[in-house]
Amino acid sequence: MRPVCVPCKRTMRPEQNGFTVVTMTDDPLKPYQIWHGDKWKCPGCAAEMVTGFGKGPIAQSYQGDFQDELSFYSPLEITDS
C-alpha cells in the first residue's frame, strides 16, 4: 500500500528508490549508520517522506570502509534521539 498524505488525503507517489539516509549520534554529533529507503512525495502539497528501509543498515561507523561509503553518497542526515 502506498503512503497517504494526511493533510491532502492523497496517496503519495514514489520519487526515488535507494534514497540514502545517514543516522547520526548526538554526543558528539557524527555519522553512525547508512541506510537506503524509498522517497515518496505528495502530488498535492509536495510533502516528502522516506520509508521502506531494509532489515539493516548498508554500512556502520565501526566498519573500515565507512568513510568511503559516506563520501560516495549525498545523504539526508537525521539525528536519532
Per-residue pLDDT tens for 38-80? Answer: 999 999 999 999 999 989 999 999 999 998 888 887 766 665 5
pLDDT at 75: 65
The ranges assigned to domains in the chain are 4-79
Alpha carbons 81 and 30: distance in angstroms, whole number = 13
Please tell me the distance from the alpha carbon of residue 71 to that of residue 81, in angstroms, as a whole number. 24
**How many CA atoms does the CB half-sphere of 18 hold within 13 Å?**
2
* Cβ–Cβ < 8 Å for 19, 43: no
Q: What is the rounded distance in angstroms from the CA atom of residue 19 to the CA atom of residue 50?
A: 8
pTM: 0.80
